[in-house]
Chains A and B, each alone.
Chain A
Amino acid sequence: MAECHPVGFQWVVEAQAGGANVFHVDPRFTRTSALADTHVPLRAGTDIAFLGGIVNYILHHELDFREYVLAYTNASTIVDEHFRDTEDLDGLFSGLDHERRVYDPATWQYEGMPATPAAGRRTQGQAHEQAASHEHGSHGATLEGGEPRRDPTLQHPRCVYQILRRHFSRYTPEMVEQVCGTPQHLFLELCRQWTRNSGRERTTALVYSVGWTQHTVGVQYIRTASIIQLLLGNMGRPGGGILALRGHASIQGSTDIPTLYNLLPGYLPMPHAGSHPDLSTYLDTVMGQRKVGYWGRADAYMASLLKAWWGDAAQADNDFCFDHLPRVDGDHGTYQTVMDMIEGKVKGYFLLGQNPAVGSAHGKAQRLGMANLDWLVVRDLFAIESATWWKDGPEIATGEIVPEECRTEVFLLPAAAHVEKEGTFTQTQRLLQWRERALAPKDDCRSELWFFFHLGRIIRDKLSGSTDERDRPLLDLTWDYPTAGEHDEPSADAVLREINGYDLSTGELLDSFTGMRGDGTTTGGCWIYTGVYAGGVNQAARRTPGTEQGHVAGEWGWAWPSNRRILYNRASADPEGRPWSQRKAYVWWDAQRGEWTGEDVPDFERGKPPDYRPPADAVAEDAIAGDDPFVMQADGKGWLFVPSGLLDGPLPTHYEPAESPVANALYRQQTNPARQVFPHPVNPSQPESTEPGNDVFPFVFTTSRLTEHHTAGGMSRYVPYLAELQPELFIEVSPQLAAERGLSHLGWAHMVTARSAVEARVLVTERLAPLRVGDRVLHQVCIPYHWAHGGGLTTGDSANDLVGITLDPNVHIQETKVGACDLRPGRRPTGAALLRYVEGYRRRAGITIDTGNHPVRTDRPGASP
């Protein structure tokens, strides 16, 4: 955090000054470790074993915040009798189709409740489903069949609490040490501090950076963190929570208003072919038959969105133009798309402030994909590598791309910088902040707002006479934003108003999403952002100085939803609505005035008393009891066990990374059985830890960032101060590994994987210590990924060229944060010799197209029948 979010880290230091104890758990010793009270090292890719060890510590010593756990989580809920755990099936859960590597979650359900429509989103004839869990966005899956059965004594062998105990019982401190290489005393110290500093009087915050998502088990990493924070009563309370540090200014915003294939704005799913023939079927799967919680109003959110997009054409009798929406039917994520480019299925590609030739996994696959397009449009501040690969990319040197034979037409369009346009970012804390425009962009530089508005305008003009039904969605589109200035810049303010939405009956801007209706009389482009223009005021532009308001600072910018700064903050009070303690008072029930009050906007209906119990026929928020704080969940509870919505299991389980030199010490199943693989000659994978040839790649490596650079370098390698501060790519190694491999400080070395070899200067440092994993010493290597050879003031190899493509099944995110490699002194070969060199490694490791691409391995010696 000190390394990549330095200014945010000032608050950690501030908390430390107030007595907080800061632990930094990371394979690397970074600037964060230097400031933390304790640095806890672990092997990259073993976080579930580590966190699972903490869950086990909590449950074994019964240190959970029992009153919170009983009232606010599903700990007491009883699970179907047919459920089988990884303890029963040696690393697999019940319901796995071994052939297709897809789980049927029927046996994971609460007792007496049918499987939910999530299962109905299967992709016919494909090995992988689309991002069904991601589709649920910010909420859990729907639940059908009424109130689940519960055992408040937590003794029933099939209640979630007992299942959790059994599932994690072997995640002992000894096992943590064996798997993660973390010394027991450090691990136990963290367990003691975390549990002592949680409960009625105290809370502990967990901060992760989104490298956690870059694993084949990334979603389950975060799930394990959720289990700990729910068991310890740290969710929805001040000083608690799970805080994701996101690395791009508005990556939160680009998920809320998604440039993502599987979502519509506000986490409404994209409609699915087959499953969603019409609007009512679509709404049934989003809202659930019981329509519980705020998703029970999805008809209003969806109708308002469709009205915002298709205006007068969207009417009740045509499903508000629901059929103007294209349908998804599988994984259409960026990696699938790149593989489709290599296969020639994609003709045109837009890159908008993104540099996949350097920043995405498997740089060569990215570049070969782009070399097989008809046309490519790159919009950026600089001539980044994703625009110039046809001229100076690594494949020009190896001969894999020959400019004279490459047909891709490339348009490089200069973009406007952040000071040259107005608009909102949504920062990592869900906070929208409006930026004023300081000056107009020069020459051909333009904002994306300009580019897309005018591109749409030109395309609509060209198709204006069309009678083709396929062009209707385009021609019916509301696309009449006011423009101003010499470049006809569209009004970002008008767009933000459209996002907020209007009441069509009065013409007024909506104040809250609760004012949205499903009958077509309201509009709103993103329901969770409704209220950003409450009272006709741009709330995101509010700038009451921090010194003139309290620590919640609710008058600086605007947080979705409804300017709430801590989500689920009803949980900061006990079931009766009283603060858990005076020290941790945040939001509470004022019985005299009959409303929730406190320091934040209550994340609860203001007038709903704690003793409210929903009548049997209640829907939407009325179906949530007065003591159920998790208002987006179908049962109002925090989910320790997830009956529906995840594709790789209802509980987190330690699997080894796809490419790891270490065998799974917990189960015979080595890697996530449901992980997504792409067997293709361009994408060779390395042998799993138990397979022959694994020892060709004996070291664990991880990729990372530095304070002075930013992601793929497009905004930092071109900036002189930053290029000077971090002038060259380097590989961090321990003195022991340097001695073992004959590496010298500041000399050259190169790392090799099945994809490529990458050279860099050697940084020999004790910041990286060898770990004792099982019965051997294991070395880790770290490399930053900011560099490339195209433009910029500092150049070097791209670390992401080392990484292959295998994905988390839930969200289709790649495993870039851990891999296995070889490390050699000296520089790598160049040109065609580089290809021969890497081919030699593949041959020695016996790599074929099948290698590493069969995650379910029941044929291993001694594997369970």
Chain B
Amino acid sequence: MDLRSWIEQWPVARQLTGHDRLGRGAAAMSARSAELRARTEDADTVSRSVCPYCAVGCGQKVYVRHDRVTQIEGDPDSPISRGRLCPKGAASKNLVTSPLRQTKVRYRPPFATEWEDLGLDTAMDMIADRVIAARRQGWQDVDEHGSRLARTMAVASLGGATLDNEENYLIKKLFTALGAIQIENQARI
């Protein structure tokens, strides 16, 4: 090793002689840290998303590698958030990759004390049957004055404020066609 290389091993020498005068980047790197790569660098895809928590609408960039979310970062292009995320938004990779997430349908029969497994298709079919039956049970054609009601009072729903507009649209459209009116969300709360 010549003298020059030997001196340049010292971060302070690199800081004084190189471009990194504040010593916060290249000057401060060790051999190991110089080789480190951000996990965002080798992502297969980067998708533009929006934080799912409050309604400010901070931009997010979602990095995916091998079909797993590897990082979620603030989107610096967003004129709303300018790349920032709050503690919740910054933890949203934790949210979507959590091992605590429910990934299988669970079913609790009447009077049971434990969950049971149930296939998704079976669950969908059972729910459809129950909606049809409850809808008929709670059906009202007219009120006591003979005015048209054409509705069911036996099926209710709550939720929508965390969902997409397109989802709320289908929810309202389907329930209205079913005659179910007690369709509500957090905006009432």
Contact = CB atoms under 8 A, between A and B. Distances in A.
Interface stretch (B8-16, B21-29, B156-164): B156-164
Given A327-B149, A360-B189, A455-B131, A719 B56 contact: no
A452 B167 contact: yes
A250 B183 contact: no
Interface string A376-408: 010111110001001100000000000111111
Given A462-B128, A813-B188, A403 B113 contact: yes
Given A4-B54, A453-B170, A326 B179 contact: yes
Nearest to A324: B177
Nearest to A263: B172
Given A391-B115, A452-B167, A546-B78, 20 more contacts: A6-B87, A246-B55, A265-B172, A277-B148, A325-B150, A326-B180, A327-B149, A375-B130, A379-B159, A419-B72, A433-B50, A435-B164, A438-B69, A456-B177, A470-B150, A477-B177, A490-B170, A499-B165, A529-B165, A710-B53
Interface in A405-423: 405-414, 417-421, 423
Interface residues of A, number: 163
Interface in B80-131: 80-82, 84-92, 94-96, 98, 100-115, 118, 120, 123-131
**Shortest 9 CB-CB distances between A and B: which pairs?**
A546-B79, A352-B159, A423-B164, A427-B57, A259-B160, A326-B151, A248-B161, A354-B159, A254-B160
A3 B152 CA distance: 42
Nearest to B61: A438
A7 B165 contact: no
B185 interface: yes
Given A407-B110, A546-B78, A436 B49 contact: yes
A346 to B, nearest CB: 5
Contact of A254 (B114, B123, B139, B161): B161
A178 B177 CA distance: 54
A256 B160 CA distance: 11
Contacts of A417: 52, 95-96, 101
B132 A463 contact: yes
Contact of B86 (A6, A335, A337): A6
Contacts of A455: 124, 127-128, 131, 174
A369 to B, nearest CB: 10
Choose among A248, A270, A337, A473 the residue with the greatest number of B CB atoms under 10 Å from its CB: A248
Contacts of B171: 259, 352, 448, 452
Given A274-B145, A418-B50, A7 B89 contact: yes
Nearest to A811: B188
B169 A525 contact: yes
A359 B182 CA distance: 18
Contact of A438 (B62, B87, B167): B62
Contact of B157 (A10, A259, A405, A477): A259
A431 B104 contact: no
A261 B172 contact: no
A299 interface: no
A831 B79 CA distance: 52
A369 B145 CA distance: 30
A373 to B, nearest CB: 9
Contacts of B156: 337, 341, 346, 348-350
B161 to A, nearest CB: 4
A249 B85 contact: no
B94 A351 contact: no
Choose among B55, B88, B124, B133 the residue with the greatest number of A CB atoms under 10 Å from its CB: B55
A718 interface: yes
B79 to A, nearest CB: 3
Given A249-B52, A326-B176, A403 B111 contact: yes
26 contacts: A10-B82, A245-B55, A249-B50, A251-B185, A254-B163, A264-B172, A273-B149, A309-B173, A324-B177, A325-B176, A332-B181, A333-B188, A337-B158, A346-B154, A348-B154, A354-B162, A354-B186, A383-B106, A409-B108, A423-B165, A427-B57, A435-B50, A444-B120, A449-B167, A455-B131, A722-B87
Nearest to A420: B96
A864 interface: no
Given A346-B153, A417-B52, A435-B49, A556 B110 contact: no
A530 interface: no
A255 interface: yes
A1 to B, nearest CB: 10
A857 interface: no
A715 B179 contact: no
B166 A258 contact: no
A669 interface: no
Choose among A255, A326, A443, A715 the residue with the greatest number of B CB atoms under 10 Å from its CB: A326
Nearest to B82: A546
B35 interface: no
B62 A7 contact: no
B168 to A, nearest CB: 5
A812 B184 CA distance: 11
A795 to B, nearest CB: 13
Nearest to B45: A438
Contacts of A356: 158, 189
B87 A347 contact: no
Contacts of B55: 5, 245-252, 425, 427-428
Contact of B165 (A253, A264, A444): A253
B130 A374 contact: yes
Contacts of A545: 76-77, 79
A857 B183 CA distance: 35
A435 B58 CA distance: 11
A387 B159 CA distance: 14
Nearest to A270: B181
Given A309-B177, A350-B158, A454-B124, A436 B48 contact: yes
Contact of B158 (A334, A529, A722): A334
B52 to A, nearest CB: 4
Given A251-B55, A456-B174, A418 B79 contact: no
Given A444-B103, A452-B167, A814 B189 contact: yes
B147 interface: yes
B56 A428 contact: yes
A419 B81 contact: no
Choose among A323, A360, A410 the residue with the greatest number of B CB atoms under 10 Å from its CB: A410
A273 B166 contact: no
B47 A437 contact: yes
A499 B88 CA distance: 31
Contacts of A438: 45, 47, 49, 62, 64, 69
A468 B58 CA distance: 48
B174 to A, nearest CB: 5
A352 B100 contact: no
A353 B89 contact: no
Contacts of B41: none
Nearest to A547: B77
Given A356-B158, A414-B105, A435 B48 contact: yes
A265 to B, nearest CB: 7
Nearest to A451: B124
A620 interface: no
Contacts of B84: 7, 10
A428 B144 CA distance: 42
A124 B95 contact: no
B47 to A, nearest CB: 4
Nearest to A379: B159
A377 B118 CA distance: 13
Contact of A124 (B72, B128, B145): B145
A526 interface: yes
A359 B189 contact: yes
B5 to A, nearest CB: 41
A340 interface: yes
A329 interface: yes
Interface string A557-581: 1000000000000000000000000
A842 B151 CA distance: 40
B17 interface: no
A252 B167 CA distance: 14
